[in-house]
Structure 1
Amino acid sequence: MTATVPIGEFSRLTYLTIKTLRYYHEIELLEPVAIDPGSGYRFYSTAQVDQAHLIKRLRELNMPLPEIKAVVAAPDQAARDAAIRAHLERMEAELVRTRDVVASLQALLLPSTGISVEYRSIASYPVLSMRSEVAREDCDVWCDHSFGTLYGTLAAADLAPAGPAGATYAAEFFEYDRGEVVTFVPIEPRHRDRFDPATVLDLPARRFAIALHAGPFTEFDRTYGALGSHVAEHDTALAEPVRELYLVGPGDAEPADYRTEVCWPIGRL
Structure 2
Amino acid sequence: MKAKSTDLITMQAFSNLTRLSRKALRLYDSMGLLVPEHVDPQSGYRHYHPDQADTARLIALLRQLDMPLTRIQEVLDVPEHQKSSLVRRYWKGVEQETHTRKRLVEYVSNVLDHKEMPMHEVKTRQIPDQIVATIQRRVFAKDIGEFNGNSLGALFSHLGDQVSGAPFIIFHGAVNEDSDGPVEVCIPFSGQVQPAGDIGIRIEAAHEEAYVTITKEQCIFPEILQAYDAVSSWIKAEGKDCSFSSPREVYFADFMNAGPDDLVCDIAYPIR
Shared fold per TM-score greater than 0.5: yes
Aligned to 2:64: 60
Amino acid at match of 1:61: L
Describe the SS at the equivalent of 1:218: coil
User: Is 1:216 the counterpart of 2:219 in the alignment?
Assistant: yes
Where do residues 193-232 of structure 1 align in structure 2 (5 Å cutoff)?
193-196=191-194, 199-214=200-215, 215-219=218-222, 220-232=224-236
TM-fit CA distance, 1:236: 1.7
CA contact (8 A) 2:165 2:188 kept: yes
Aligned residues: 239
TM-fit CA distance, 1:67: 5.9
Question: Structure 1 residues 108, 154: CA separation in 2 closer, same or farther (over 3 Å shift)?
Answer: same
* CA offset digits 1:101-121 (Å, max 9, x no partner): 213433555642353333322
* CA offset digits 1:2-58 (Å, max 9, x no partner): x999x99x96xx8x64xx35555555548799xxxxxxxx9984x555445423322
Counterpart among 113, 118, 121 of residue 117 in structure 1: 121
Question: Structure 1 residues 4, 153: CA separation in 2 closer, same or farther (over 3 Å shift)?
Answer: closer
Question: Structure 1 residues 68, 121: CA separation in 2 closer, same or farther (over 3 Å shift)?
Answer: closer
* CA offset digits 1:169-199 (Å, max 9, x no partner): 2136579723443322233xxxx33322785
User: Is 1:135 the counterpart of 2:136 in the alignment?
Assistant: no
More helix by percentage: 1
Describe the SS at the equivalent of 1:240: coil
CA distance in 2, matches of 1:71, 1:57: 12
- When Rg is computed on C-alpha atoms for both structures, the one with the higher figure is 1
Counterpart among 184, 187, 207 of residue 185 in structure 1: 187
Aligned to 2:92: 92
CA distance in 2, matches of 1:195, 1:66: 41
Question: Structure 1 residues 145, 254: CA separation in 2 closer, same or farther (over 3 Å shift)?
Answer: farther
Amino acid at match of 1:218: F
Paired-residue identity, %? 17
Structure 2, unpaired ranges of 5+: 1-6, 39-46
CA contact (8 A) 2:209 2:268 kept: yes
TM-fit CA distance, 1:143: 1.6
Aligned to 2:155: 150
CA contact (8 A) 1:211 1:262 kept: yes
CA distance in 2, matches of 1:107, 1:86: 32
CA distance in 2, matches of 1:83, 1:99: 25
CA contact (8 A) 2:75 2:87 kept: no
Amino acid at match of 1:253: A
User: Is 1:260 the counterpart of 2:265 in the alignment?
Assistant: yes
* TM-score, normalising length: structure 1: 0.66
Amino acid at match of 2:122: E
Question: Structure 1 residues 234, 21: CA separation in 2 closer, same or farther (over 3 Å shift)?
Answer: same
User: Is 1:102 the counterpart of 2:102 in the alignment?
Assistant: yes
CA contact (8 A) 1:134 1:142 kept: no
Describe the SS at the equivalent of 2:241: coil
* CA offset digits 1:203-245 (Å, max 9, x no partner): 3222222122332341233322332122123222231112321
CA contact (8 A) 2:245 2:269 kept: no
RMSD: 4.2
CA distance in 2, matches of 1:234, 1:163: 29
Question: Structure 1 residues 67, 242: CA separation in 2 closer, same or farther (over 3 Å shift)?
Answer: closer
Question: Structure 1 residues 66, 101: CA separation in 2 closer, same or farther (over 3 Å shift)?
Answer: closer
Amino acid at match of 2:213: L
